[in-house]
Structure 1
Amino acid sequence: MCKDAIVFFNKPQGIELEAGKTYRFCTCGRSEDGLFCDDSHEGTSCEPKEFTVDKTKAYQLCRCKSSDNLPFCSGNHSYYADSDVGKKIKF
């Protein structure tokens, strides 16, 4: 987890990912879509997390940036209220 990360949103997003394709997950919470890196982390201590999946299917991706299993949702978004969106992650 990046110490400069902000909560992009307090709910995950379902998205279909393609098996074997390399993705660059946004860990800073500053990218335009909150999911994939667009280099908005520049100037922070954050770096994108590269990952692949073994099976083409829909996955729940973390947008609160504090999942215990980035880039996948672990339910930690339930700790954030709507008022926390755009603020530094709590843990």
Structure 2
Amino acid sequence: MCKDAIVFRNKPEGVTLEAGVTYMICTCGRSKDGIFCDGSHKGTKCMPKKVTVEKTKQYHICMCKTSANFPFCDGTHSIYTNEDIGKKIQS
């Protein structure tokens, strides 16, 4: 978890990831779609998370940026309200 991250959304996003493909997942909460890194972390201490999955399927990606199983959702988003979106994560 990056201490400079902000909450992108307070619920996960279902995304199909292809087996064997390396993805760079946004950890800062500032990328345009909140899922894939687009370089918006520049100026923060956040770095994207490199992820390669073994099975092609839909995964629930953490959008609150605080899952203990990041980048996959573990339900931590339930601590955030709609008012927390765009604000600093709880560490």
Pairwise TM-score range, normalised by the shorter structure: over 0.9
List structure 1 runs of 4+ shifted beyond 4 angstroms: none
Superposition deviation, residue 24 in structure 1? 0.1
Query: Which residue of structure 1 lines up, in the alignment, with residue 45 of structure 2?
Result: 45
Name the CA distance, whole Å, in 1 between partners of 2:18 and 2:26: 17
Percent identical residues: 65
RMSD of Structure 2 on Structure 1 (CA) = 0.4
- Correspondences of 1:11-22 after superposition (within 5 Å): 11-22=11-22
Q: Structure 1 unaligned runs (5+)?
A: none
- In the alignment, residue 17 of structure 1 is paired with which amino acid? L
TM-score under structure 2 normalisation?
0.99
Structure 2 residues not aligned, in runs of 5+ = none
Q: How many residues align?
A: 91
Letter in 2 for 1:14: G
CA distance in 2, matches of 1:48, 1:76: 19
